[in-house]
A and B are shown apart, each in its own frame.
Chain A
Amino acid sequence: EAQVTQNPRYLITVTGKKLTVTCSQNMNHEYMSWYRQDPGLGLRQIYYSMNVEVTDKGDVPEGYKVSRKEKRNFPLILESPSPNQTSLYFCASSLKGLRQGGYEQYFGPGTRLTVT
């Protein structure tokens, strides 16, 4: 089954304790990205990657890091989490392509992070 998986689904942590949220897709997609969802703000892109070893900042990258060492995986790293990073996080992937509007993005189920 084609899917994007994220782990963990729920995480409660304390300020300053490094954490990693994993994202994996089995569709051989080149393009992957991370979004955070906050009430009243919709989803905002944090980082994206166009292919292995190619990453770039989205709209709200502060406090986050990513890496893309393998095509299928795109982990999100919070080196020193703070309470304002409490949010619902989604990973998404799609085919690479130069097409009007791009290709359909497939979203993972989300990771609800609480930083106290």
Chain B
Amino acid sequence: GNSVTQMEGPVTLSEEAFLTINCTYTATGYPSLFWYVQYPGEGLQLLLKATKADDKGSNKGFEATYRKETTSFHLEKGSVQVSDSAVYFCALSVDSWGKLQFGAGTQVVVTP
């Protein structure tokens, strides 16, 4: 079946540090890949996505590249802020309706 594996958290960083959250997947067919972010007390928001191999999704300084050869979609940001403290979910979809298969989530804590 389809599955998503994320690095466990929490990840604690100082402001302006470099952030990487690893995400790998197993899927039949050609999935679309997503990163969702959940700020404290809120629902999930789409952060970025990529729909085919070698695509790079980017938003708010975050980037992730769809790597088919390593079945990965790692999230990166060059300089984090306290406001980036949240839980980040990697997800995939293999159907055209967009049903999402989520990873377990990674909590990121950025300290001043």
Contacts and interface: CB of A to CB of B under 8 A. Distances in A.
A4 interface: yes
Given A42-B89, A42-B102, A42-B105, A100 B96 contact: yes
Nearest to B46: A104
> B-side binding surface: helix, strand, loop or mixed?
loop
A48 B99 CA distance: 9
B93 interface: yes
Given A48-B97, A107-B45, 4 more contacts: A42-B103, A100-B32, A104-B46, A107-B44
Interface of B: 4, 30-32, 34, 41-46, 49, 51-52, 89, 93, 95-100, 102-105
Interface of A: 4, 31, 33, 35, 40-45, 48, 50, 58, 90, 92, 94, 96-105, 107-110
